[in-house]
Structure 1
Amino acid sequence: MGTDYPPVSFHFLVEFNGISSQNKDAQFQSVMGLSVDIETEEFAEGGENRFKHKFPVRSKFPNLVLKRGMVTDSELIKWCRNAIESFQFEPVDLTVKLLNEKHEPIITWNVVHAYPVKWDVAELNAEESKVMIETIELAYNYFTLV
């Protein structure tokens, strides 16, 4: 086993192809939605009453949810606002890289054809002293591991 086993999940980077090379648009507090389910279809065979056959149909990917401290003057948010406010969607590919202590990728997920479907900011509350969190939710076609 290498020194990267088991890897820690707190050192990662998100890079959007063609949107921004700013460091602030690559750093997030959390990334959720890198999972896949296989949808199945059931088929009842005549004369077989103990079970139904299940056949794989297609892969199903949930939305990718990115959270970070709110960033002003962000190219990523301009891209999201263009989709939300002007209804002009420009899908992009992005990568999520899990890094080691030398900032080298251990594993990379290539997320294909992502576009924003939700932008959310945390509650404004005068009784709490918390960092303002923004959440960006992206729909995408699929991801591959590198």
Structure 2
Amino acid sequence: MSDPGTSVHFRLRIDSIDLGEWNSCEGLGIQVELEEHQEGGNNDFVWQLPSRLIYTNVTLTRPLTDDTAKVFKYLSKLPQRVRRGTAEIAALKPDRSLLVQWGLADVVLVRWSGPSFDPSRSEVATESIELAYHGFTEVSD
């Protein structure tokens, strides 16, 4: 019996650039958009025709770590070359061995959010990165 998917962190690479490990990953998904067609004379049936695929944006979040410098270095080059690329998100087990990984095609970094500092609250400073993508791709091992 294999271990269930109890990963506690994720590894992110964009265009083979390692952006470190992240604590949470949300939004990875695909949805088939349906068009409904009501056929005349058949009142008890509606055709549901698949039309397009919708890929939801992925957001990864983590506390500030040494890996934050990797993201800053990547962000500093964005104004010179915003283009679509590929990304790999790997779910890691607690011992950092690979559980599963996903390859994303036509990736664009759409948002980075840095920490908010409030001296009246004692919270961990976090950062998040949001990626838009348009499909899946095979991941090299």
How would you bin the TM-score normalised by the shorter chain? 0.7 to 0.9
Give matches, 1:3-22, under 5 Å.
3-4=2-3, 6-20=4-18
Tell me, yes or no, if the aligned pair for 1:94 and 1:114 is still in contact at 8 Å.
Answer: yes
Task: Point out where structure 1 has 5 or more consecutive residues left out of the alignment.
Answer: none
Q: Distance in 2 between matches of 1:9 and 1:145?
A: 21
Q: 1:126 aligns with which of 83, 95, 119?
A: 119
TM-score by length of 1: 0.78
* Aligned-CA RMSD value: 2.4
Q: Distance in 2 between matches of 1:101 and 1:124?
A: 29
TM-score by length of 2: 0.81
Q: Distance in 2 between matches of 1:40 and 1:131?
A: 42
Deviations along 1:8-33, whole A, 9 cap, x unmatched? 0314322333323xxxx221121112
Q: 1:43 aligns with which of 5, 27, 37?
A: 37
Report the residue type matching 1:76 in the other structure. Answer: V
Deviation at 1:91, TM superposition (A): 2.5
Change (3 A) 1:17 1:134: same
Q: Distance in 2 between matches of 1:102 and 1:130?
A: 26
User: In proportion to residue count, which structure has more strand?
Assistant: 2
- Larger mean CA deviation between 111-120 and 11-20 belongs to 11-20
How many residue pairs are counted as aligned between the two chains?
A: 138
Aligned to 1:137: 130
Q: Any idea what SS the aligned residue of 2:113 has?
A: strand
Structure 1 segments (4+ residues) deviating >4 Å: none
Q: Distance in 1 between matches of 2:57 and 2:80?
A: 19
